[in-house]
């Protein structure tokens, strides 16, 4: 069943040619999944980003903050890519059972698709608590919908490169 859904999604992505995506510097939005929260992603350099995720789990009275360094690689184009990352997390638990607030290391792997002013991603994010928490290992997955706040500047190609040389020569005289 899941293999069929993934296959259909990939076929659909191959067929989509009319969507115009923007490359971004900063994007922020919602993360829906287990648990839900907010996400902000900032491009550092090249294909590397820093992502902050603040999650809330009202049923368990816990929340967490995760900071992930991620590396993105294109699959079909710069609009569709996969990414992997790692970073620290810290959590807060409100209960009477005496659990300490957890901290540890989180990992992430996912796929991302950018279109116009939005970025849609799906990820799997396991977390290992080095101290505290109800469990040592947490398994989380989510779908994030981010809106582009700052677009990446496009490099302009000077097709008339000879004019640039002429302007430099005139300035030297």
- CATH assignment at residue 54: 2.40.160.20
Domain-located, residue 173: no
Q: Residue 1: what pLDDT?
A: 53
Residue 9 or 65, more confident? 65
**3-class state of residue 133 by DSSP:** coil
Domain-located, residue 140: yes
Residue 78 structural domain: 20-152
Of 3-12, 15-24, 26-35, the least confident: 15-24
Domain-located, residue 81: yes
Domain-located, residue 13: no
Number of domains in the chain: 1
Task: Give the residue among 70, 92, 87, 91 at the shortest CA–CA distance from 144.
Answer: 70
Of 4-8, 25-29, 51-55, 114-118, the least confident: 4-8
> How does the average pLDDT of the chain come out, rounded?
77
Domain-located, residue 159: no
Cα–Cα distance measured from residue 74 to residue 150, given in angstroms and rounded to the nearest whole number: 20
Domain-located, residue 60: yes
Domain-located, residue 43: yes
Domain-located, residue 99: yes
Neighbours of 87 (CB within 10 A): 17
> Does the global pTM surpass 0.85?
no
Of 12-16, 99-103, 109-113, 156-160, the least confident: 12-16
Cα–Cα distance measured from residue 119 to residue 74, given in angstroms and rounded to the nearest whole number: 14
């Amino acid at each position: 069943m899941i293999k069929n859904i993934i296959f259909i999604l990939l076929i659909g992505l191959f067929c989509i040619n009319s969507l115009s995506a923007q490359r971004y510097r900063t994007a922020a939005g919602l993360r829906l999944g287990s648990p839900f929260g907010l996400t902000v992603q900032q491009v550092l350099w090249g294909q590397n980003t820093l992502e902050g995720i603040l999650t809330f789990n009202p049923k368990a009275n816990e929340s967490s903050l995760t900071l992930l360094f991620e590396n993105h690689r294109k699959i079909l184009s710069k609009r569709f890519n996969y990414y992997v990352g790692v970073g620290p997390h810290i959590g807060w638990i409100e209960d009477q059972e005496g659990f300490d607030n957890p901290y540890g290391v989180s990992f992430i792997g996912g796929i991302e698709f950018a279109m116009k002013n939005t970025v849609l991603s799906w990820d799997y994010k396991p977390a290992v608590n080095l101290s505290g928490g109800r469990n040592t290992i947490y398994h989380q997955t989510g779908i994030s919908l981010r809106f582009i706040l700052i677009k990446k500047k496009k490099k302009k190609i000077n097709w008339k490169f000879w004019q640039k040389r002429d302007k430099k020569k005139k300035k030297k005289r």
